[in-house]
Structure 1
Amino acid sequence: MYISITKQHLNETFSQSCSDFVAYLQKENEGKQPELQEHFFGRRHDRIDPEKVIKEIDGNTAKLKKREPKFFSITINPSKRELKHINNDPKLLKQYVREVMKDYAASFYRDRPVSVNNIKYYAKVEYERTFKGFDKEVKENQPYRAKIVKLEHDLRKVERGELTTDVKSIKKKIARLNKNIPHRINGEVVAQGMKKPGLQTHVHIIVSRKDISNRYSLSPGSKYRESETVLNGKIVKRGFNRDRFYAAAEKRFDTLFKYNRNYVESYSAHKAFVKDPKKYFAHLLGLPVNERSAAFKILGTAGVQVPRLNIPTNKVEVALKAIKQFKKTVDVAKSSSTIGL
């Protein structure tokens, strides 16, 4: 499970309204019959019109300054294993979102407990993802594509008489590059904008910065975590605990759907990997044989080149020499959102 929280973009190219973001989330409905379209949903209602989403979020911004975000975007990205476990059922995902937003509310640190009833949010399920420029497949294909484009440009120069060279040689080079380009899907070269294969279902949630009464600010982007400050002569609590939210969201999925989570899929593993890769790798090698085998399979499926090591767990230190390369491959997989670490 990979969850991200992003504040509203407020530079000159973005609107103060959430209308652009709502329009972006409508992209998968284009060209579909109304009965086949995916609708926004909220805490209690399904089939919410996008116009209502815009009206409700834009109208809930009292006393916020122009340069302050008016809403936040939460993206919930279940792994392919998690999606397969729930049969990629959008009804179950909606059920999960409604439950996990209770954990979101509980992660605020305030003088009064924050309930999901205080949160104004709208969510939408999407089923497709496209390759981005930072994806490993696109980055590794790019040098080949660049060379092919240059050679094709040279061919056109030859046809116009601007360049004198061996046409057959150029064509052979192009054919060789096309043959050796590393990443294809169904014979088509992977490029930016191409749809990703397999289960790609995820959820976007638009959350108002202000609570449902339009009186109090609830910012998950606060740099303060469970801290206190003096405001108008009074000590007030503030902050949002992201660690608590991410861990609770993971536990919510496991409990709700009876999911047996492997160590490498867990938020605790993610934290160990970031803070102490040696500890992460040592724990991984110390897992029971069956669980360790499953962990390596999960990592391999995610595109992580796991070091081929067959050593007793009491000699973990011997394996630590492989950590540098292992960490590099995991970082690549994380950056392309192929692994929920």
Structure 2
Amino acid sequence: MYLTITPQKLSQNYSQSVSYFVSYLEKENKSRESGQLELFFNQYGENLNPSTVIQEIDANTAKLNKIEPKYYSITINPSRHELKHVGNNIDSLKKYTREVMKEYARTFNREINGKPINITDIKYFAKVEHQRSFKGTDREIKENAPYVKEIKKLENKIRKVSRGEIKGNIRAIEKELHRLKLEAPHKINGEIIRQGMGKEGLQTHIHIIVSRKDASNSYSLSPGSKYRSSEVMMHGKIVKRGFERDQFFEKAEKTFDKLFGYNRNYVESYLARKTFIKQPKQYYAHLNTLSVVEKRIAFQILGQTGISIPHLNITPNQLSFALKHLKKALEVGIRSSSIGY
């Protein structure tokens, strides 16, 4: 499970309204019939129209200035293993989303009218998406890039020869073109993977738009707060503040496991990703402590990221090599908002 929290983008290219983002989230509906549209939902309702989302979020911005985010985007990215476990069932994923948002509310170290924040204080709208496209940060795009570049050059050369602009042997150029297309490392059904091409397999994920202001439009709730859970004296009173992201990510993961009886492997966990970033040698050492069955599953999952893992009990040089490539895989997954296993 991989979750992200990002603030509204504030620049000259984005309006103060949520309408741009809502329009972006409607991209899959453009190719669907009216009876097959994937509409928004929240804690209390289904089949909510985009216009309702825009109206509700845009109206819930009291006392926020132009440089403050009006909303945050949370993305829930289940792994393929997790999606298979729940049968890629949309109702199950919506149920999980609602439980995650309860944890989101509980993660704020804040009170409203003397009571801890709960889900009734949160205004949000969520939407399920079923497709993902390859991005420039994906390993497949990067490794195909030299081949795609040369293929474009040769195709352009063939056009110029055909128009008589330059001299050349079209048959010889086509032979070289065919060789490059065969040697390109990543393909789908024989077609070279390029940026924007849809990914294969289960790609279901959930986008959530959550208002910066609470449901009463009175209090600012920022998951991007620089403060961790703490208390501070303000105007002669002790005030709670902060949002613990680590706690939220861990709770979201445990919620999935409990809700669906999922037996999470170490390499799938938030703790593992965090350990890898901060203490990579400890991460790999922990892999060595797993049972035979758990090791097999762990290395299967890591192998599906395109990484070749050396044998366990490896030399220091092999460990360095493994860590370097594991780090590369995880970083690409993070940038793509999906770990990809």
TM-score scaled by structure 2?
A: 0.93
Letter of the 1:98 partner, please give it: R
For 2:284, the aligned partner's letter is F
Alpha carbons of 1:165 and 1:142: their partners in 2 closer, same or farther (altered >3 Å)?
Answer: same
Q: 2:116 is paired with a residue of what secondary structure?
A: coil
Whether 2:189 is the aligned partner of 1:195: answer no
Distance 1:340 1:171 in 2: 35
Whole-angstrom CA distance in 1 between matches of 2:27 and 2:262: 31
Q: Deviations over 1:123-172 (max 9, x none)?
A: 11111111112111112112111111112222222233332333333222
How do 1:89-238 and structure 2 match up within 5 A?
89-111=89-111, 112-238=115-241
Deviations 1:48-105 (A, max 9, x none): 1211111111000000001111000100000000010000000011111111111100
Q: 1:208 to 1:146 in 2, by over 3 A?
A: same
After superposition, the C-alpha distances for 1:305-338 in whole angstroms (9 at most, x for unaligned) are: 222x144xxx886863443344334434444445
C-alpha separation in 2, matches of 1:76 and 1:129 = 13
Change (3 A) 1:82 1:56: same
Provide Cα deviations, 1:270-313, integer angstroms capped at 9, x if missing partner. 11111100000000111111111110011112323222x144xx
* 1-structure distance, mates of 2:242, 2:80: 32
Distance 1:97 1:75, change over 3 A: same
What is the identity, as a one-letter code, of the residue corresponding to 1:45?
A: G
Change (3 A) 1:338 1:239: closer
Q: Number of aligned residue pairs: give it.
A: 337
Contact kept, 8 Å, 2:2 with 2:338, in 1: the verdict is: no
Distance 1:162 1:201 in 2: 48
**Which residue of structure 2 aligns with residue 74 of structure 1?**
74
CA distance in 2, matches of 1:331, 1:65: 34
The AA in structure 2 aligned to 1:151 is: L
2:298 equivalent among 289, 295, 313: 295
Residues 307 and 325, structure 2, Cα contact 8 Å, conserved in 1: no
Relative to 1, partners in 2 of residues 1:286 and 1:319: Cα closer, same or farther, differing over 3 Å? farther
Comparing 269-278 with 188-197, greater Cα deviation is found at 188-197
1:53-72 to structure 2, matched below 5 A, reads 53-72=53-72
Kindly state the Cα deviation for residue 233 of structure 1 after the two structures are TM-superposed.
Answer: 4.7
Q: Which residue of 1 aligns with 2:319?
A: 320
Shift of the 204–69 alpha-carbon distance from structure 1 to 2, 3 Å rule, reads same
Q: Is the 8 A contact 1:136 1:336 kept in 2?
A: no
Give the match's secondary structure for 2:207: strand
Q: Are 2:225 and 2:243, in contact at CA under 8 Å, matched by a contact in 1?
A: yes
Secondary structure at the residue paired with 1:30? helix
Amino acid at match of 1:26: E
SS of aligned partner of 1:220: coil
**Structure 1 residues 52 and 130 mapped into 2: Cα distance closer, same or farther (>3 Å)?**
same
Q: Which residue of 2 aligns with 1:9?
A: 9
Instruction: Give the unaligned 5+ runs of structure 2.
Output: none
Percent identity at matched positions? 55
Distance 2:192 2:319 in 1: 37
Q: Provide the C-alpha distance between the structure 1 equivalents of 2:171 and 2:31, rounded to a whole number of angstroms.
A: 44
| Whole-angstrom CA distance in 1 between matches of 2:143 and 2:258 | 39
Distance 1:116 1:166 in 2: 69
Q: CA RMSD, aligned part only?
A: 2.0
Segment of structure 1 superposing worse, 47-56 or 169-178: 169-178
CA contact (8 A) 2:305 2:329 kept: no
Q: Residue 320 of structure 1 aligns to which amino acid in structure 2?
A: L
**Contact 1:305–1:326 (CA under 8 A) maintained in structure 2:** no
Which blocks of at least 5 consecutive residues in structure 1 are unaligned?
none
Equivalent-residue separation in structure 1 for 2:31 and 2:170 (angstroms): 44
Deviation at 1:120, TM superposition (A): 0.4
